[in-house]
Chain A
Amino acid sequence: MRTRHALVIQEDKIILKILERLANSRSYSCKAITSLNDLDIEDQNTNFDVIISDILFDGIAPLEFVSQVQEVILHKNLVIVSNMGQEKIKKDTMALKGIAGFFEIPFDLDEVEQLIAGY
């Protein structure tokens, strides 16, 4: 069986670590980073099966961040887990192409697990 790759981008280290363990428990090989700056050259060659990312980062608008992730990193599915759960942001983000799910914090880890299990 081929190894599945996951990338978690979260500023909150505790949520980051929990999501990393969650992905590992679902037999993903997982890379966990706190910002896009932590990506290295090798990551550009990886086609991630799933990216679980926040959208709230310093110096960049949420929707812009999503487009940047979609442009820069090769991936198949993008799931958002964010503190920024206002209806408008949620609607705008889900309206973008290629968003597999949006979870606003507080969220149920089981739902994320269920979603990524299928990829």
Chain B
Amino acid sequence: MEFVDIIIPVLKIGLTILGVLWLSTFISMGYRKNRIRKLKVIEETFADVVSNYLYPNPASPLELLDIQRILRNIGIRESKKGNVQYLINLMIRTQRSILGNNHTKLKTLYSQIPPYRASISKLKKFGWYSKALGIREIYEMNQQQYIQEIIPLRNHKNLYVRREAQIALIVFLGWDSLRFIPYLKKGLTLWQQIKIVEKLYDLYKEPQVGKLRPLYSTKKIFAKQLIMRIIRKYSLESEVDYILAHLHDTNYEVREAAIYCLDSFKVIKKEKVEVIKSLFQKIPSASQQGQLLNYISNNSAVDVEFYMSLLRSSSDDIKLRSAEILWNSGYKEQVQEFYLEQYSNPEVYAG
């Protein structure tokens, strides 16, 4: 067989592959160009619709049926999922940019133009990502009618799905949704607690202490932490006792949250400070005692007796900190006397 006989078929195959690749590249480029143009049309049309809805032209106001027809004409149909998804993203983006009366107006508009159950159908999908995205879209667009489908997902086995479901409950039900918290089967991470508190504060600025108090009897660690964070966020001074009651909790993280939340109450009544002082020795961790000592010294007048008692009975760190506070507050003699006493006591000296 000659060399030419081999090379020609190889070249032919090579050229065919190259041709197919070029062709597919051109088709793909054409498709993309078309698609981008299409998405641009959707964006511009949606911009027209929303702006005309918010600020109608008195000569030709836009009716709801007109809006539905316009959207249908640009390809927002149930069969075209990509277009519907793009429109949903635009809707969410727009609603996030606007506050006040017009935000409410948009909500009304969104409840009337159907995104063809695109979000709710995602809840039925197998993948956790689709589920979580669907829930997010539902609460971002305030489609409250689907709340019954979301409620069972609050205990979903996937972290992201249950996170979004819990946030959706907060968005739709506000303070009422808190009653679910003690019954959640899986814990709430710190991140999720912060998200819940922030969402609640964003949407429901008015505190409803009556809805919070029934939760106080909970034994769940994450629920205790969440309650304290809510008390902190809303600066509920009447509820500080709940935080104080958890300063000497058996769980380290609950104590940590309690100290952190207490720290944001800068003005605290004298009798509350006395309660904190009485609990001080019951806190099992020296580092947490140190944090609390900082809080006490920053937020109350110097109580010589209390600090002297700490000098005599606490860990080295606390002793040093108490001595420092006394020293800086003008009680040098007492501190000097205490340390001199130690030199005369052979046991302490030897120890």
B93 at the interface (CB under 8 A from A): yes
| B201 CB, nearest partner CB in chain A, Å | 15
* B102 proximity list for chain A (CB < 8 A): 108-110
B54 at the interface (CB under 8 A from A): yes
| A14 CB, nearest partner CB in chain B, Å | 4
In contact, A18 and B55 (Cβ under 8 angstroms): yes
With A and B bound together, what is the CA distance between A32 and B107 in angstroms? 26
User: Which range contains the number of A residues in contact with the other chain?
Assistant: 10 to 19
In contact, B52 and A14 (Cβ under 8 angstroms): no
With A and B bound together, what is the CA distance between A27 and B51 in angstroms? 15
B335 at the interface (CB under 8 A from A): no
A107 at the interface (CB under 8 A from B): yes
Chain A window 37-73, contacts with chain B (Cβ cutoff 8 Å), 1 for yes, 0 for no: 0000000000000000000000000000000000000
Q: Which listed residue (A12, A16, A107, A109) contacts B54, Cβ 8 A?
A: A109
In the complex, chain A residues 88-105 whose Cβ is within 8 Å of any chain B Cβ: 105
| B348 CB, nearest partner CB in chain A, Å | 53
In contact, A18 and B100 (Cβ under 8 angstroms): no
B90 at the interface (CB under 8 A from A): yes
* A14 proximity list for chain B (CB < 8 A): 43, 46-47, 50-51, 90, 93-94, 97
* A24 proximity list for chain B (CB < 8 A): 55, 57
In contact, A21 and B51 (Cβ under 8 angstroms): yes
With A and B bound together, what is the CA distance between A21 and B62 in angstroms? 13
With A and B bound together, what is the CA distance between A66 and B51 in angstroms? 26
In contact, A18 and B51 (Cβ under 8 angstroms): yes
In the complex, chain B residues 95-135 whose Cβ is within 8 Å of any chain A Cβ: 96-103
With A and B bound together, what is the CA distance between A13 and B40 in angstroms? 10
With A and B bound together, what is the CA distance between A107 and B101 in angstroms? 11
A25 at the interface (CB under 8 A from B): yes
Chain A window 1-33, contacts with chain B (Cβ cutoff 8 Å), 1 for yes, 0 for no: 000000000001111111011101100000000
In contact, A18 and B54 (Cβ under 8 angstroms): yes
A106 at the interface (CB under 8 A from B): yes
With A and B bound together, what is the CA distance between A109 and B102 in angstroms? 7
With A and B bound together, what is the CA distance between A16 and B51 in angstroms? 9
With A and B bound together, what is the CA distance between A97 and B98 in angstroms? 27
B253 at the interface (CB under 8 A from A): no
* B46 proximity list for chain A (CB < 8 A): 14
B149 at the interface (CB under 8 A from A): no
Classify the secondary structure of A's interface with B.
Answer: helix
B48 at the interface (CB under 8 A from A): yes
Known A-B contacts A24-B55, A25-B55; A18 and B47 likewise in contact (beta carbons under 8 Å): yes
With A and B bound together, what is the CA distance between A12 and B51 in angstroms? 13
B241 at the interface (CB under 8 A from A): no
Chain B window 34-65, contacts with chain A (Cβ cutoff 8 Å), 1 for yes, 0 for no: 00000000011011101110110100000000
Known A-B contacts A13-B43, A13-B44; A107 and B99 likewise in contact (beta carbons under 8 Å): yes
| B104 CB, nearest partner CB in chain A, Å | 11
| A94 CB, nearest partner CB in chain B, Å | 20
In contact, A109 and B100 (Cβ under 8 angstroms): yes
In contact, B100 and A17 (Cβ under 8 angstroms): no
* B44 proximity list for chain A (CB < 8 A): 13, 17
In contact, A106 and B97 (Cβ under 8 angstroms): yes
For residue A20, which residue of chain B has the nearest CB? B51
For residue B54, which residue of chain A has the nearest CB? A18
* A13 proximity list for chain B (CB < 8 A): 43-44, 47
Interface residue ranges, B against A (CB under 8 Å): 43-44, 46-48, 50-52, 54-55, 57, 90, 93-94, 96-103
Known: A14-B97, A108-B99, A108-B100. 9 other contacts (CB 8 A): A13-B43, A13-B44, A14-B51, A14-B93, A18-B55, A20-B51, A106-B96, A106-B103, A107-B98
Q: Identify 16 residue pairs between A and B in the complex whose beta-carbon atoms are under 8 Å apart, listed by A's number.
A: A13-B44, A14-B50, A14-B93, A14-B94, A18-B47, A18-B54, A18-B98, A20-B51, A21-B51, A21-B52, A105-B97, A106-B96, A106-B103, A107-B99, A108-B102, A109-B100
Closest 10 CB pairs of A and B: A108-B100, A17-B47, A21-B51, A21-B55, A17-B51, A25-B55, A14-B47, A18-B51, A108-B99, A105-B97
